Structure formats: C-alpha cells, structure tokens
C-alpha cells in the first residue's frame, strides 16, 4: 500500500521488547523479559465482583458523555494523590483524565504537543515505547544520561543550551530500565531549568508504589505547584492488573478541555464500566495491605534473582546495582559486544529470555551494547535458580563461541 504515510513507513520501528516476548513464548523459555506484574498478584476475585456490580446498571454500557472518564474515579485518584503529597492543593478530580493504560497517555501527550521536528529530551537509557509514541509524531530526540539519583543536571544544562527543547520525558521512580530514582533535590533544579528554558515535564510514574525499601520521594507536579509545567502519568497496571487498561493523566486545568476533544476524535470514550468497577475495587480493597503484599513478593523475587546472578552470572563478568523498587535489574557485561545477538542466543540455546539493553537507548549509534534488562517480576524464587543457571551458562557458552 504505497498510500501509507510516514508514521508507519519511516517513524515507527518494530518493538524489540515485543519481539523478544514473542520469541520467549514460542520457545517456552524462562522469561526475564516482561515489564509486567505477576498474574497471581491480581485481585481477580474482587475485580470480578466489582465488574458484576458495575454491570447491574446497564446504562454504564452506553457511550459515556465525558470522554475524560467517570467522575467518581477521577476524584478518587486526586484524593489519593493528595494524601500522598503528590498534587498541588488547587488540583482535583477535574484535572484527572482516564487513559487506556499509560501508553495511551503518552500518545495523547504526543499528539497534543508534538509537531514534526520538535525536540523531546529523554533520559538515556529510557522506555522505548515512549520513544515510539513521540517519534510517531515526528519528534527529534536529545538525551541526558542518568545515574542512581536520576538525570545528571549538568549534562542536561549542556543539552538545553544547545537545543530548543519542547518537552522532557522522565520516569521518576525505579526507572525503566535503569532502576534509578530522581531525588527531590534534582527535581527542584530540573524544574528551574524548565522555567528558564520554557519546556514541559512529562512525569511518568508507573512504579511508584512498588518500593521495597527506603522512603517515597515527592513529585514534579507537586513541586511545580501553580506553575503549569508538568503532566503526570499514573497507572493501575502494575498494582492492580495491566489488562484492565486503567491509566490516568493529571494535567493543568487549561489542557483538560482540548485533551478531552482529542480523546473524542481518537476513540470517543473508553469502557466506562471498567472505570466504575476499578473505582469500587479501590474503595473496597485494603490498599495499604495490598501494596505491602506486592512489596513483599517482589522484594523476595528480586533478592532470589540477585542471589543466583551473583552465583552464576557475576562470575561471567556481569555487574549491576540492586534496585530499591520496580521490576528490573539493569545489568552490564563489559565484554559483551552485541546484546541483541546474545539475547537471541540465550533464548534459542539456553531457553532464557532477556531484553537487549541497547533497545533502551534513543540513539542506536551510541547505545551501550553490553547491557541487558532482567525482569524479576514474573520469576518466582523457585525458578530464579534455574534462570540464573541458564543465564550464566548462556554467557559462558556465548563468550567461548565468539
């Protein structure tokens, strides 16, 4: 179809994460690939019950007159975030818009703000599906490296002095893939840069409630207060279930109207009964206990994988910092020259799936090809030993054959 436009012919490339997940499934490998929670942790019974309850009112199965989502859930989210000290006092449910997961939010931001050729500043490394959403609209990328405390501010200043940046995309807690957490102090300095250089901050925060030790940080949107500089993206995918596709964005009042019209043009509305069911679930679940259970489970998984990586993969040259939350161990194997090739080798030869780290760099040419992303979320402790074993063996064999 020669009629296809630039988005699909030039701008969008196949996703390395999806390709790897499909390969893992096909070869029935142990998967360290998926950035998704473990299905035993979904509150399925409660969800089933609340959906049943939501459907008692068939009117909820009609088109919803507000494309922005149901009022009760939007208000619940604003309250919840306020209790957590994340929102300016003047914000309320009217600043919240429901999305089909965070990716829908990323796409809406991209469609509302990006014109072809606009410059988007991203972290290096960063989440590749965000690059897809911005790249789709013709964004050009510049990047700032991160260390364990988030984006390196001095490096950011250099980039900003040389480029007119429209927006900065950042994953603030347990960043995907590096695991870094942006400190309050860095956020303040970056907000100053945003004011000085006039750019918007897209604060992506799906992993916030998956902290396994230490204290919660504040948010950009809370720090910015009345300055309309920040759009916050949240999601119930990691703490309830990805399949309810229930994400949200929090944004300055003056953008809510235009964003609602954009949603109407792209999908009219989302399944409102799922939002009603989610709202009832959130009101009825003991959220503190639920989050504590998630933290216990994933902390145990992280520690188990850590132990067997120490035993089996570290002797092959692997290094990493243990993350304090989220789903990923971001590893480096200094002698590894092509992580894409190794990832294929590992799944085909040893039936263990990892994601090549170079897929997370906005610039392919300067990507660190010795990196790997290892997700522990879906690996129970009893599988971790076998996963570590296979990965260690894959590294040893791969090293020999090259």
Nearest to 217 by CA among 209, 229, 227: 209
Return d(Cα 154, Cα 147) in angstroms, integer: 12
Give the end-to-end CA distance of the chain in Å, rounded to a whole number: 41
Return d(Cα 344, Cα 322) in angstroms, integer: 25
- Map tokens 């809510």 to a residue: 256
CB of 329 to a second copy, least distance (A): 20
CB of 328 to a second copy, least distance (A): 16
Q: Which residue, 1 or 365, has its beta carbon nearer to a second copy?
A: 1
CB of 371 to a second copy, least distance (A): 22
Q: Which residue, 36 or 349, has its beta carbon nearer to a second copy?
A: 36
Q: Which residue, 88 or 252, has its beta carbon nearer to a second copy?
A: 252
- CA separation (Å) from 157 to 27, 161, 246, 297? 46, 6, 35, 40
**Omega into 125 within 30° of 0, i.e. cis?**
yes
CB of 65 to a second copy, least distance (A): 6
Q: Which residue, 156 or 259, has its beta carbon nearer to a second copy?
A: 259
Residue 57 near residue 44 (C-beta atoms within 8 A): no
CB of 83 to a second copy, least distance (A): 27
Name, in order, each residue with C-beta under 8 angstroms of 72's C-beta and a sequence gap of 6 or more: 276, 279
Q: Residue 163 has which token pair?
A: 């480029």
Q: Which residue, 14 or 214, has its beta carbon nearer to a second copy?
A: 14
Return d(Cα 227, Cα 63) in angstroms, integer: 34
Nearest to 237 by CA among 229, 247, 227: 247
Return d(Cα 390, Cα 169) in angstroms, integer: 35
Q: Which residue, 106 or 156, has its beta carbon nearer to a second copy?
A: 106
CB of 234 to a second copy, least distance (A): 16
> For residue 189, what is the enclosing H or E element?
helix 184-197
Q: Which residue, 114 or 180, has its beta carbon nearer to a second copy?
A: 114
Residue 130 near residue 124 (C-beta atoms within 8 A): no
CB of 19 to a second copy, least distance (A): 10
Q: Radius of gyration of the chain from Cα atoms?
A: 21
CB of 298 to a second copy, least distance (A): 16
Q: Which residue, 20 or 309, has its beta carbon nearer to a second copy?
A: 20
């Amino acid at each position: 179809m020669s009629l296809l436009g630039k988005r699909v012919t030039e701008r969008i490339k196949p996703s390395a994460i999806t390709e790897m997940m499909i390969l893992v499934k096909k070869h029935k490998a142990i998967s360290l690939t998926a950035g998704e929670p473990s299905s035993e942790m979904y509150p399925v019974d409660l969800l089933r019950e609340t959906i049943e309850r939501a459907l008692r009112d068939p009117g909820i199965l009609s088109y919803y007159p507000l494309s922005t989502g149901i009022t009760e859930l939007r208000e619940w989210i604003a309250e919840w975030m306020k209790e957590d000290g994340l929102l300016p006092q003047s914000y309320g449910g009217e600043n919240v818009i429901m999305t089909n997961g965070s990716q829908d939010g990323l796409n809406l931001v991209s469609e509302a703000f990006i014109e072809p050729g606009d410059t988007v500043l991203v972290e290096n490394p960063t989440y590749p599906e965000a690059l897809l959403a911005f790249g789709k609209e013709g964004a050009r990328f510049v990047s700032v490296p991160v260390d364990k405390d988030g984006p390196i501010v001095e490096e950011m200043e250099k980039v900003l002095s040389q480029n007119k940046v429209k927006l900065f995309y950042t994953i603030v807690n347990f960043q995907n893939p590096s695991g870094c957490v942006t400190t309050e102090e860095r956020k303040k300095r970056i907000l100053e840069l945003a004011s000085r250089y006039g750019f918007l901050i897209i604060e992506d925060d799906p992993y916030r409630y998956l902290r396994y030790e230490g204290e919660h940080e504040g948010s950009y949107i809370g720090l910015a207060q009345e300055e309309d500089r920040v759009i916050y993206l949240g999601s119930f995918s990691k703490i309830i279930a990805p399949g309810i596709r229930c994400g949200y964005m929090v944004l300055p009042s003056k953008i809510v109207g235009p964003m609602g019209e954009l949603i109407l043009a792209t999908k009219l509305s989302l399944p409102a009964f799922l939002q009603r069911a989610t709202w009832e679930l959130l009101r009825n679940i003991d959220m503190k206990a639920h989050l504590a259970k998630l933290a216990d489970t994933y902390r145990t998984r992280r520690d188990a994988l850590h132990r067997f990586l120490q035993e089996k993969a570290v002797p092959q040259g692997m290094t990493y910092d243990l993350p304090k939350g989220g789903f990923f161990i971001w590893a480096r194997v200094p002698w590894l020259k092509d992580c894409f090739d190794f990832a294929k080798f590992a799944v085909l030869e040893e039936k263990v799936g990892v994601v090549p780290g170079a897929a997370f760099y906005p610039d392919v040419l300067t990507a660190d090809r010795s990196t790997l992303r290892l997700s522990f979320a879906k690996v129970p402790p009893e599988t971790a030993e076998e996963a570590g074993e296979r990965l260690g063996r894959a590294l040893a064999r791969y090293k020999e054959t090259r």
